[in-house]
Amino acid sequence: MRSIYLDNSASTKVYPDVAELMCKTMLADYGNPSAKHIMGVEAEKYYRESREEIAETLKVKAKEILFTSGGTESDNMALIGGCFAKMRQGKHIISSAIEHPAIYKALEFLESHGFEISILPVDEKGHISLNELEKTIRDDTVMVSIMTVNNEMGAVEDIHAIGELIKKKNPNCLFHTDAIQAYGKMILHPKKDFVDLLSVSGHKLHGPKGIGFLFIDEKVKINPILFGGGQQGGLRSGTLNIPGIAGMGLAAKMVYQDFPKKIEKLYELKDYFIEELEKLPEVKVNSEKGKASAPQIVSASFYGIKSEVLLHALEEKGIYVSSGSACSSNHPGISGTLKAIGLTDKELDSTLRFSFSFLTEKYELTDTIDALKELLPMLRKFYKA
């Protein structure tokens, strides 16, 4: 049975060239990059080249790229390290109602250390209000953290407008964005968008798991949250993960090659899939068509069927999708994002996420629609949400 993988927002297939390069760093160029002999020098070269490749995609300086273990660490380091560094200025933080658990858990930690948290609501499309943001920013606001692309429904925030507003209202306030679902799916220029800190994870863009990076503007000071041998300028101690770093650098370079053509294909796939879903009875699509939302994510509610029942029915046909954020746990419960956009209890309990990659083909979406046409009437007959 041919498998159809539509859970790319959880993780993507590693490019073969990336896997090959990683094997080379583990089997041939396996020296410790901190060592002073030639094998250490060769390993350290991968680190420098990957920083340069990633920096080029963002139009920033290589020294502004800090490698981490992934998106969760990047988010934690941005919020905890950034806010602790600015405690003398204030202890007020602003975020939104549809952030990733890596943001919310970091905020809970900061709150336990005396910080005050303001959470902005979103509209039915998942967008914050700029007016609400402006009213919420204070003189003692030290951080605003708003994700670029929501991981469950694909809502895209106007990061440029948000950043411009923050710097106009409080120039000393840091602006962090979780760009984990955005990097590799859109062109990002943090310098132009007034972004101070930007988080990315490797396994969302055909790179390896266990690696990510945090863009830190050179003018920004953050405190380390890991301590040890002083690697990466003392900001993130620990032996550098050269296989992951090399793999992520190559994946970043590859994902942005022929980018306009690849991204247009993704938008065409998304719009086609939404149009076909809308033809099915008792289905509500929660994601917007066109470039108003991300090109790789479609959220839909299937009335009368529990999401987990439909997920496993599709799985039996070799079609793999998600019923929530794969990063929260194996059993994420009811999505805070879907609650925030106003879905009813029945809609919340019947929602699936379909997410695509540059490797997704149209016939896979056609086969998925055909499977839904077969499954929905049968499941509605035997199962009730």
- Reply yes or no on whether 83 is catalytic: no
Q: Note the pLDDT tens digit of each residue in 317-356.
A: 999 999 864 444 444 444 577 778 878 778 888 999 999 9
From 166-175, 202-211, 214-223, 227-236, the region with the lowest mean pLDDT: 227-236
% pLDDT > 90, the chain:
88
Give the integer Cα–Cα distance in Å for 32 and 20. 19
pLDDT value at residue 335:
58
Quote the CA–CA distance of 324 and 335 in Å, as a whole number. 7
User: pTM surpassing 0.75?
Assistant: yes
User: What is the pLDDT at residue 333?
Assistant: 43
The span from the CA of 71 to the CA of 305, in Å, is 32
Taking 60 as the threshold, does the pLDDT of residue 384 lie above it?
A: no
pLDDT digits (tens, 9 = 90+) for 298-327: 999 999 999 999 999 999 999 999 986 444
Q: What percentage of the chain reaches a pLDDT higher than 70?
A: 96
Average pLDDT of span 125-146 = 97
Per the prediction, the chain carries an average pLDDT of: 93
Q: Confidence band (pLDDT; 50, 70, 90) for 4?
A: very high
- The domain made up of 4-12+259-382 has a fold known as Aspartate Aminotransferase, domain 1 (3.90.1150)
Predicted confidence at residue 1, as pLDDT, reads 62
Position 184 confidence tier, pLDDT thresholds 50, 70, 90: very high
Class of 16-255 in CATH: alpha beta
- Which listed residue (23, 83, 173, 327) is catalytic? 327
pLDDT in tens, 152-178: 989 999 999 999 999 999 999 999 999
- CA separation for the pair 118, 19 (Å, rounded): 42
Confidence of residue 385 (pLDDT cuts 50, 70, 90): very low
Q: What is the pLDDT of residue 163?
A: 98
Domain ranges of the chain: 4-12+259-382, 16-255
Per-residue pLDDT at 220: 97
